[in-house]
Structure 1
C-alpha cells in the first residue's frame, strides 16, 4: 500500500466526534474524547488518524462495538446499522478543542 493511499485511508477512519452527555462526562472525568469510527477500523489506525487530523499525541485507544437498535414504523420492523465508537486518551498537555474549529 502506498503512502498516499494509507493517508487517504486514515482520513476516512474518523467519521465524527460523539458529542453527547455521556461523552462530555467521560471527557471531563477521564480526559478521553469519543469518536464515531468506521466499523472496520483498528486501534492503530484510529490512533494514527487522530494524530494526523488533529495534530495531537494519543496515549491509548479503547473501542466499543455498538449494536444497532431495532426500530418500528407501524407494523414494519427495521434495524439501524451497527457502528463503532472509539474513546481516545490524549497524552498529558494535549487537547482537542472542537469549538475552535480545529
Structure 2
C-alpha cells in the first residue's frame, strides 16, 4: 500500500486556485503515477473530508534560460479536487 503523503506532493497556491476554493475546489501537485482513485483516497485520509470529484491534468515543463544556458522545468501532474457540499480543508483557511 502506498503512503497517502507520497501521492500528494504539495498544494498549489496561486490566484486562480484561491478563487476556485470559493467553489469548494482545491488544487494539488500529485505523483505522476497516481490515478484518480488513489488521489481521492489520499485526500480523504490526510484531510478527513469527503471528495466528490477529482480532475487531473499533466502540466508540461517550460523551457527556461539563464544567460546562454538553456534548461527545462520538470513536468508534473496537477489534480483539482472537488469536495462535497459543506466540507472544507482547514489548512487553506486564512490564506
TM-score by length of 1: 0.85
What are the ranges of 5 or more consecutive residues in structure 1 without an aligned counterpart? 1-5
Q: Distance in 1 between matches of 2:75 and 2:92?
A: 28
1:13 maps onto 2:18 in alignment: no
What are the ranges of 5 or more consecutive residues in structure 2 without an aligned counterpart? none
Residue in structure 2 matched with residue 24 of structure 1 by the alignment = 18
Q: Distance in 2 between matches of 1:66 and 1:43?
A: 16
Q: CA deviation at 1:7?
A: 4.7
Residue in structure 2 matched with residue 57 of structure 1 by the alignment = 50
Runs of 4+ more than 6 Å apart:
none
TM-score by length of 2: 0.91
C-alpha RMSD of matched pairs (Å): 1.3
Q: When the two structures are aligned, how many residues end up with a matched partner?
A: 93
Residue in structure 2 matched with residue 81 of structure 1 by the alignment = 74
Residue in structure 2 matched with residue 3 of structure 1 by the alignment = none
